[in-house]
């Protein structure tokens, strides 16, 4: 016999003789399918009465038990194939372990009184396992690349699952794309979507996106953001990461890590901050920031990221005192000092820069004029002007001595 477990509706049929185990995440409903045949391998086995049972046990202790149903309302089990939906509840007791291995068993009593059983091992993972890798994988891309998104579900396009991506700019739907490939990665799936012209303009502000996943027995939605970034923005990410995390600290606590998503969010919020700092309002888009404009933008971005980091450090710092040892972990003072330093640059550097930009009429664009600020400043101080010569001199009218 064979047993099929659809984790979120997406796993392909699996023969229980060769499977070691199947991974399922707590808090989700899964569908399992089984086909019972007689010894000839072709004649369906019909139940004596009622319907087959599916039991999930943990070292012999019953976790849940459900009644199966026919794969077709009209067949009433004459095909030998049955389906059953079961849920691993939220708050499942893992007893301090990273995962629990359970036994899923089908039980059918045939018309002749014989008991038919089949079983498979399933591994239940905490819900954090589904998002652990996804947290580290923000969608970043240059215009030449496709769109790859990691979702915390097992999606099998060959088994009939479908996935579509709708891209929004604010509340305006730009396009809807169909997944072209799906690569399973542990308990997650990497979906690849084609890149269309609506996403080929790089920008620092993200697009909103909704992924609709349709399984044979269920549907799921995932919300994410898409960053269409270019090499200039990537360079700013690296510079920002170096300035605020010179120690290259690697944390096991995700809330304290400087991830790509944190740097990109910091750049986006920092750009809004920079554009709205008085004495002048600007509307730079961050696509190619250079020179002084780039430096002012990174200063504002550093403030945004470090202020968020200060809050996280405050949540996770701790003191421990024992009979022979005392341990204190508190980095808030260092983060606060860095915030204060960058905020001091607002009055000494950023505001004068915004005033100079307003005087020269540079209040929008991609920020590439930032590398010309020194020349612009000299022009304003000396008052040099360059006026075209007159047409009369160029044409050389008769009688002018030419």
pLDDT in tens, 154-196: 787 877 789 999 988 888 898 899 999 988 776 678 888 987 7
pLDDT score recorded for residue 214: 85
Between CA 220 and CA 213 the distance in angstroms is 5
Could you tell me which residues are beta bridge partners of residue 118? 106
The mean of the pLDDT values for the chain is: 76
Range(s) within the chain of domains with CATH label 2.60.40.10: 131-228
pLDDT score recorded for residue 74: 57
pLDDT score recorded for residue 7: 40
In this prediction, residues 285-302 reach a mean pLDDT of: 92
- For the domain spanning 131-228, the CATH number is 2.60.40.10
CATH architecture of 2-126: Sandwich (2.60)
In this prediction, residues 103-127 reach a mean pLDDT of: 83
Range(s) within the chain of domains with CATH label 2.60.40.1220: 2-126
Whether residue 260 is predicted with pLDDT greater than 80 in this model: the reply is yes
pLDDT score recorded for residue 79: 67
Percent above pLDDT 70 for the chain: 72
Confidence tier at 252 by pLDDT (50, 70, 90): low
Contacts with 344 (C-beta within 8 Å, 6 or more apart), sequence order: none
Q: Which helix (H) or strand (E) holds 372?
A: none
b/e burial code for range 26-61 (CB count within 10 A of at least 16 → b): bebebbbbbbbeeeeeeeebbbeeebbbbbbeeeee
> What does the pLDDT look like over 370-394, one tens digit per residue?
777 656 555 444 434 343 443 333 3
pLDDT score recorded for residue 390: 37
pLDDT score recorded for residue 71: 67
Contacts with 400 (C-beta within 8 Å, 6 or more apart), sequence order: 392
């Amino acid at each position: 016999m064979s047993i099929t477990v659809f984790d979120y509706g997406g796993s392909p049929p699996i023969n229980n003789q060769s499977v070691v185990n199947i991974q399922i995440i707590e808090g989700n409903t899964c569908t399992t399918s089984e086909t019972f045949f007689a010894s000839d391998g072709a004649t369906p086995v019909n139940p004596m009465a009622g319907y087959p049972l599916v039991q999930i046990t943990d070292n012999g202790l019953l976790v849940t038990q459900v009644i199966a149903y026919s794969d077709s309302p009209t067949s009433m089990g004459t095909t030998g194939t049955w389906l059953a939906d079961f849920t691993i509840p939220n708050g499942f007791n893992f007893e301090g372990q990273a995962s629990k291995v359970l036994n899923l068993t089908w039980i059918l009593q045939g018309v002749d009184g014989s008991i038919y059983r089949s079983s498979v091992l399933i591994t239940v993972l905490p819900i954090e396992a589904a998002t652990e890798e996804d947290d580290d994988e923000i969608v970043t891309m240059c215009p030449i690349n496709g769109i790859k998104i990691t979702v915390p579900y097992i999606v099998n396009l060959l088994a009939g699952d479908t996935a579509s991506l709708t891209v929004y700019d604010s509340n305006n739907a730009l396009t809807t794309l169909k997944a072209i490939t799906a690569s399973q990665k542990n308990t997650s799936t990497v979906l690849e979507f084609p890149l269309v012209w609506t996403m080929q303009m790089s920008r620092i502000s993200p697009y909103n996106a909704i992924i609709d996943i349709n399984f044979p027995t269920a549907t799921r939605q995932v919300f994410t953001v898409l960053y269409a970034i270019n090499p200039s923005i990537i360079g700013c990410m690296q510079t920002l990461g170096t300035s605020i995390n010179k120690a290259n600290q690697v944390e096991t606590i995700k809330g304290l890590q400087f991830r790509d998503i944190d740097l990109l969010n910091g750049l986006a919020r920092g750009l809004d901050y920079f554009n709205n700092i008085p004495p002048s309002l600007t509307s730079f888009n961050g696509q190619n920031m250079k020179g002084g404009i780039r430096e002012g933008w990174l200063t504002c971005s550093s403030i945004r990221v470090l202020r968020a980091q200060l809050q996280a450090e405050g949540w996770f710092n701790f003191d421990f005192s024992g009979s022979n040892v005392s341990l204190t972990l508190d980095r808030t003072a260092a983060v606060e000092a860095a915030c204060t330093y960058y905020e001091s640059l607002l009055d000494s550097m950023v505001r004068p820069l915004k005033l100079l930009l307003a005087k020269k009429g540079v209040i929008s664009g991609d920020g590439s004029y930032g590398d010309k600020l020194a020349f612009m400043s000299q022009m304003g101080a000396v008052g040099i002007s360059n006026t075209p010569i007159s047409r009369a001199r160029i044409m050389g009218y008769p009688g002018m001595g030419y």
